[in-house]
Structure 1
Amino acid sequence: MLFIDQVDIIGKKLLFRVDFNVPLESGVITDDNRIQAAIPTLKYALDKGASIILCAHLGKPKGKVVPELSLAPVAKRTSELLGVDVELVPGLLSELAGEKAAALKPGQAIMLDNLRYNPEETGKTAAERGDFGHRLAALADIYVNDAFGVAHRENASVVDIPKFAPVSCGGFLLKKEQEFLGDALKNPKRPYVCVSGGAKVSTKLGILTNLLGKVDDIIIGGAMANTFMLAKGYEVGNSLVEKDLVEDARSIMDKAESMGSKLHLPVDYIYAASHDAVEAGGICAADEIPSDSMVLDIGPETVKSFVTVLGRSKTIVWNGPMGLFETSAFAKGSLAVCEAIANLDDALSIVGGGDTDAVVHLMNLADKFSFISTGGGSFLEFLEGKELPAFTALKEGLNS
């Protein structure tokens, strides 16, 4: 697989697939981190005398032109960050895009409007995607995928363009993800710890199964821990739980120790009457959860236990908060874990997932982590040991 710094891009037209799916409120971008993350690769290309054609998606227009999901605000913000005018080519992919691309001069940039306006972009089969990838590839000399956030999706702009582009490569964002999630974790410094939280075991089951025997410790918090509590025979009150996955949780607990991975579960909780509560109802032991309440954060003894494990770690992968961190009364567990990892001086720390990223930024500790992944689903699938469609497509494009 090639990356952009291994390709001659001087004076060439580059088609970039970027992940600019940013949050908007009344047409105003509320978080531009995804745009900021791609700027180094884009500036590198422009500085080399290339011209760039940006393509991305925003939200779920479901194959229709939805004005509220236009990339116009994104093009404007990209222009500001690049210091180069980025003209938006509105609506569906059409002859206009080809004309605009053909007219580009070195150092210039355009942006195609929301790829998902075109129903072929998200077609589930090659037949449903049709020639959309071919038409996109025809706009440029070189295709650059720098969108790890969609690397797990078999969209036309991810898997089909490399079949037709004369040259395909990854951008610096994709390269960084490969280095940290792939290369760095092949031979990690030990102890190697996985911290898994969030709401559901179902979204993390593949990761936990894949990491058994590979990591030294697995810390489990958040609502997903409730399923493990149930598997241990504890009552969980009104807490969020996945009863259909109790056997899977029990299987993970049974296998962990024999495979050399120690499982760390909560020993106490902070609870309240409902997830709408703004104050805690109290603290309880893991086997004494009140029947009329729900657990919303790990308790102080659990925090101590988890922080101790993290304190001796040399490699940490963290995905998922320890509780309902959006409410301050239930944020202590997540913030304590975040601070404990941030305070490690000589450890490799990798964070992935939107909520986990939000905790890190809430604490203003982003610069204390080795790497913050730009992917949600892609990050999870990578940790499951799967090769992502985007990487497969770039490799096959190189060999075609």
Structure 2
Amino acid sequence: MIRTLRAFNLRGKNILIRVDFNVPLDGERVTNNFRIKAAMPTINTCLEGGAAVVLMSHLGRPEGKEDKKLSLIPIGEELAGLMEMPIKFSDNCVSADALDTSLSLKAGEIHLLENLRFNPGEKANDTEFASQLARHGQIYINDAFGTAHRSHASNVGVISPFKHAGIGWLMDKELNF
């Protein structure tokens, strides 16, 4: 049975959420924020439940190397505007600094990790990369229906370390459509 957010006590936890923020950009400006807005019910449920949120996504096809044109910085700025709150951002999803930021989050805070596909371990479903991602949270939620069919580290490998894993509201809606 697939568990949704309802199944978990979120209070005081870091919730690691795989979202699909693969949105169109014009330079450094988001031109369609539909996918960002679609993730907000899951994010809000976590925040209202007393959790901190760590978000991870990909953008485009950088083929395992950094490409500033595919940075999630503009997505973080768009999300901050939509949520009307600051969003912490880390420019490397598995660096020591990124992990420190996640581990120091307080309830109600959001941390966005840089583009997963900047690391070749994402598409390769590398176990070490997946393990490094998993360190960001105590509960894993997949809310990225558009990428759920991919055998990538953020969808597949990341799950095994978690005692608690499930799906968000967008994924639930798509599965029960």
Match of 2:8 in 1: 7
Query: Shift of residue 130 of structure 1?
Result: 3.1
Please give the secondary structure, in 2, of the residue aligned with 1:36.
helix
Match of 1:144 in 2: 141
1:121 and 2:122 aligned: yes
Counterpart AA for 2:171: L
Distance (whole Å) between structure 2 residues aligned to residue 39 and residue 77 of structure 1: 12
Deviations 1:276-296 (A, max 9, x none): xxxxxxxxxxxxxxxxxxxxx
Q: TM-score, normalised by structure 2?
A: 0.96
Match of 1:385 in 2: none
User: Which of residues 162, 171, 175 is equivalent to 2:172?
Assistant: 175
1:64 and 2:59 aligned: no
Query: Shift of residue 170 of structure 1?
Result: 0.2
> Over the residues paired in the alignment, what is the CA RMSD in angstroms?
1.0
Please give the secondary structure, in 2, of the residue aligned with 1:131.
helix
Distance (whole Å) between structure 1 residues aligned to residue 12 and residue 116 of structure 2: 26
Counterpart AA for 2:160: K
Deviations 1:154-187 (A, max 9, x none): 010001111112210100001101111xxxxxxx
Query: Shift of residue 135 of structure 1?
Result: 1.0
Match of 2:160 in 1: 163
Deviations 1:280-336 (A, max 9, x none): xxxxxxxxxxxxxxxxxxxxxxxxxxxxxxxxxxxxxxxxxxxxxxxxxxxxxxxxx
Distance (whole Å) between structure 2 residues aligned to residue 146 and residue 166 of structure 1: 18
Distance (whole Å) between structure 1 residues aligned to residue 93 and residue 171 of structure 2: 27
Counterpart AA for 2:59: L
Shift of the 87–51 alpha-carbon distance from structure 1 to 2, 3 Å rule, reads same
Alignment of 1:248-267 (within 5 A): none
What residue ranges of structure 2 are gaps of 5+ in the alignment?
A: none
Match of 2:26 in 1: 25
Match of 1:95 in 2: 96
Query: Percent identity over the alignment?
Result: 38
Question: Is the 1:17–1:144 contact (alpha carbons within 8 Å) kept by the matching residues of 2?
Answer: yes
Query: Shift of residue 11 of structure 1?
Result: 1.4
Alignment of 1:163-312 (within 5 A): 163-180=160-177
Q: Name which structure has the greater RCO, CA cutoff 8 Å, separation 6+.
A: 2
| CA radius of gyration, larger in | 1
Question: Is the 1:65–1:91 contact (alpha carbons within 8 Å) kept by the matching residues of 2?
Answer: no
Counterpart AA for 1:136: L
What residue ranges of structure 1 are gaps of 5+ in the alignment?
A: 181-400
Counterpart AA for 1:85: P
Query: Shift of residue 85 of structure 1?
Result: 1.0
Deviations 1:79-108 (A, max 9, x none): 111222111101352111110011100001
User: Which of residues 135, 150, 157 is equivalent to 2:132?
Assistant: 135
Question: Is the 2:58–2:117 contact (alpha carbons within 8 Å) kept by the matching residues of 1?
Answer: yes
Question: Is the 1:3–1:172 contact (alpha carbons within 8 Å) kept by the matching residues of 2?
Answer: yes
Question: Is the 1:138–1:165 contact (alpha carbons within 8 Å) kept by the matching residues of 2?
Answer: no
Distance (whole Å) between structure 2 residues aligned to residue 109 and residue 118 of structure 1: 22
Distance (whole Å) between structure 1 residues aligned to residue 123 and residue 85 of structure 2: 30
Distance (whole Å) between structure 1 residues aligned to residue 93 and residue 44 of structure 2: 27
Please give the secondary structure, in 1, of the residue aligned with 2:40.
helix
Structure with bigger helix share is 1
